[in-house]
Chains A and B, each alone.
Chain A
Amino acid sequence: MIELLFVVFLAALLFSTIAAWFVAPNAPGHRIPPLFLLVSVLLGLAIAGKCFLTGSTIYLDFSSHLPFAFGFTVDRLSGFFLMLICGLAAPVALFSSNYSDHYSKAAWKWYWSLVPLFILSMAMVVAASTVFAFMLGWELMTLLSAGLILIEGDSEERRRSVFIYLVMMHAGAAAVFATFLLFLPHAEALTFSAMRVAASGLPNSLRTVIFLLSFIGFGMKAGIVPLHFWLPKAHAIAPSPVSALMSAVMLKTAVYGFIRLAFDLLGNPQPWWGYLVLCAGIATAVLGILYALAENTLKRLLAYSSIENIGLIYIALGVALVFQAHSLPTLAALALIAALFHALNHALFKGLLFLGSGAIYRSTSTLNIEELGGLLSRLPGIGISFLIGCAAISGLPLLNGFVSEWLIFKSLLHGSALEPAPALPLLIGAVALASTLAGACFVKVYGVTFLGRPRSAAANDAKSVPQNMDLSLFAMAVACLVLGIDPGLLLRPLYSLAALLVANATPPPELAVISRTMPLVAAAVGVSLVLALRLMKWGGRRVDTWACGLPGLTERMQYTGTSFSKPLRSVFNAVYKPARKLDVEPVGESYFPASITYQSVRTTSFEKTLYRPAVDFVVAAARQLRRLHTGNIQVYLLYIFLMIVSLLLVLRFL
């Protein structure tokens, strides 16, 4: 029965695509594709929820009807990630139904036909039970998201960003594919179940190679520093609902792939694998949030913050691998739960924030926070949900982000059981740094965007947004609150999931502790808040803001995003290395110059030191290889002949 429903779910997504071609925007029935998409992802959510919560597994195998192994299995792990995809696709569909209004007819049709396919491809990745199904979904996911990015224009710069995105994704896909192929001589078939059986028989060196390849391949998609280069470029220019899907869900498919491979298929990690993942996670988290702090374009900032959150997830995964390698299954389960919980949390608040920035863009036509301000009173619905999102991503208690960060802290602290004892606990400092930087970053985002006075006419005249947008954001904000106050809702099924991936685990006591405490803390805060509100009078006389007694305070005197982050940027100057250029005309005139131009350009050092040399090398090598292409057919025949002879020689002597 549930198998049938799953097929219906996949088919319904395909049907939404087809439906989009027969309906025109602003024509009767233009709500059909969004509605159909919404219904189908809700169906998917129900199926995924059942698989995740009850552990009932869907098996579908089409291999006998096809020339290649192709099938789906939805177990608890797949169910969890499918729940994430569908759970996020629902508010995105609701939001998009209004967001897509301003598209041209062609763009509208492309949008509504590609979005369901994009969701379908992600569902395929997490539900796949064979390598073929997985890679098909994986590649479609990349291509469809690239197509969606180009809907909102195809300027030279956009095409360049999409090109970088595609190149890096295909490099990653090659690594992922190689990961799977390396199982081949040992596994009977390229199905996950056969690979799982074969994994224990693999030689140790091959296991290490497989692990490293998967780390690079999935890390490329997840945006691990220094492989994150494409992420802010691609996520920032996609339509906001698509950015929400890419950042909140697509990155998680990489996390899924990594967990599936490292914990489920491969198993038995070595300690240094864990430390490798952990160090990459630390670098990713701290650098990601530092870059985010310096950004002033809302969506680029959010994209960098996604890098930070992926870093936190990888930290937890690394800790889990370390514990598993040291045969501490309960602690490994704790860290794994932290990673999974944070994956869900990040999907919720980052989806919320990206959709929120979409609403801001719809309302003000700008995403530069330096031109915004005072939006809370103009867009109260969006403003309140966005505030909850900002608080959640900063890890404040009573919201979901805190619970996963607490679990990460606890698992790092348990690292004192290993030798050398202070190694893992020391990393608490790094996580705390990333976490407070995130707090500063989102105080800046919210304060500059929603509070104070509007900094431009566009912000001053912000138009109200349709109710569907408010509603979709509100739903996600409520989810953040509920999971923050009662994390036990999710922690219990997550333990059942972790117990499947980590053998011999017993329930970590932390889960019960935090599930019991958070409602209590929420109640205590509620009671004290009532007390505090009784102590103050809500009314108050409205007066002008204090300006040292002088009149004429203008919006330009407010702190901007740039000035807010200035102290932190100067402290972490080594990370940013900005190239500054100050031109004063006429030269040498220090007072009353005719004009001053100031430029500050930040190129991440990875671009200069890692990517540029690599690209230059490839181009130079290609130039050398071009000499072989003489255009003379006899020479090409000679090449073929030499090749055959050398192959025969190799085969003779091997």
Chain B
Amino acid sequence: MNLLANVIQVLILVLAAPLLRGFIARLKAIIQRRRGASIWRPYADLWKLFHKEDLVPKTATAVFRGAPAIGFAVTLVATAFLPLLHSNALVQLDGDIFLFVYLLVIVRFVMSLAALDGGSAFGGMGSSREALVATLAEAPLFLVLTAVAILAKTSSLSQMAQWTTTQNFFDISTVHILAFAALVIVAIAETGRIPVDNPTTHLELTMIHEAMVLEYSGPSLALIEWSQAIKLHVMGALMVALFAPWGMSAVDTAGGLLVALGVYALKLLGLAIGLSIVESSVAKLRMYVVPDFLRVASALAILAVIFTAITKR
């Protein structure tokens, strides 16, 4: 039952990822008083792309061809570290927070290289801007995880979730609120949402992530879109696991897991609503204001680590 639940967790993270995207798009449509597409639309998009032809730039090498597959594969593996329905992940080790983040770094590394492989200005532009955003977002991400790891006295995501469920929220709220705020900013930057990047933009000059994948089409693009969706879901699940794991099933029974799934869906819905409101009400930042935005995350994360010293343990 334990193993089964772990596998189901991974499957939810991977297969429900496009649904989350569709949900956010729909929520944004509602907020903006538009009718909007069906929440199942991302699945249809993926299906369409998987059946289309792949167009490859003439200068492209195996790096360009292999990058989407490597990115997808590594994102899949990263999902195995997240606890979702109960405080157990498929793979867990003391120190998996660092491994988890570094797996996501692989995705960025190969995609940035692939962007430069097309040989146009857009790819380089996206790659260069991604390097800027990533560099400034990575340090706060590590510090957020560190802050929670110090409190929980473990550096395994599952153990951290397990520990947090046994805590009274008000004992740990100082660190958690600071770290959560930092993680929100980091997650927005990492997943390329407004106000850092606009996933629905159509103007090449304003793109970051979309400029990097500009040359892709067909099944390769489908893999990229899917891994991007998984990454968004993973970031949401990470927030839930770190800061609101209450409601995770304590015993591995079918009923308990179902309840946990419902609770998880509600928490994710809350995050999705928050993101939709932000995306509908805030304008995209100018490129050179993004570092300031991310510095706020760094400051919050540093404070979170410092405040672990005064938190009851």
| A interface residues with partner B (beta carbon < 8 Å) | 373-374, 376-377, 387, 391, 394-397, 402, 405-406, 409-410, 413, 416, 420-422, 425-426, 428-430, 432-433, 435-437, 439-440, 443-444, 446-448, 451-453, 509-510, 513-514, 516-517, 520-521, 524-525, 528-529, 531-533, 535-548, 553, 555, 557-560, 563-568, 570-571
Contact = CB atoms under 8 A, between A and B. Distances in A.
A421 B309 contact: yes
Interface of B: 50, 53-59, 61-65, 68-70, 72-74, 76-77, 80, 91, 93-96, 98-99, 102-103, 105-106, 108-109, 112-113, 115-125, 127-129, 131-132, 134-136, 138-143, 146-147, 149-150, 155, 204, 214-215, 218-220, 222-223, 287-288, 291, 298, 301-302, 305-306, 308-309
A543 B55 contact: yes
Contacts of B119: 373-374, 451-453, 545, 553, 555, 558
Q: For the complex of A and B, list the 4 residue pairs with the smallest distance between their C-beta atoms, beginning with the closest.
A: A559-B124, A447-B116, A540-B54, A528-B73
A544 to B, nearest CB: 6
A443 B287 CA distance: 20
Q: Is the interface of A mostly helix, strand, loop or mixed?
A: helix
Contacts of A453: 59, 119
A413 B54 contact: no
Q: Is the interface of B mostly helix, strand, loop or mixed?
A: helix
13 contacts: A402-B102, A420-B309, A422-B309, A446-B113, A447-B117, A520-B91, A528-B74, A537-B54, A537-B219, A544-B57, A546-B57, A546-B214, A568-B135
B119 to A, nearest CB: 4
Contact of A545 (B58, B105, B218): B58
A513 B98 CA distance: 13
B306 A558 contact: no
Contacts, number: 267
A391 B73 CA distance: 17
Given A402-B102, A428-B142, A451-B117, A528 B72 contact: yes
B128 A510 contact: no
B174 to A, nearest CB: 13
Given A410-B95, A425-B146, A553 B120 contact: yes
Nearest to A541: B55
A568 B308 contact: no
B21 to A, nearest CB: 18
B118 A532 contact: no
A404 to B, nearest CB: 12
B127 A559 contact: yes
B73 A559 contact: no
A509 B68 CA distance: 35
Contact of B134 (A440, A452, A520): A440
A607 to B, nearest CB: 26
Given A374-B59, A535-B223, A510 B94 contact: yes
Contacts of B122: 546
A436 B204 contact: no
Contacts of A532: 68-70, 72-73, 76, 223
Contacts of A513: 93-95
Contacts of B138: 432-433, 435-436
Contact of B99 (A397, A432, A443, A566): A397
Contacts of A451: 61, 63-64, 113, 116-117, 119
Given A521-B77, A545-B215, A567-B131, A536 B220 contact: yes
Contacts of A409: 95, 98, 142
Nearest to A529: B73
A529 B298 CA distance: 34
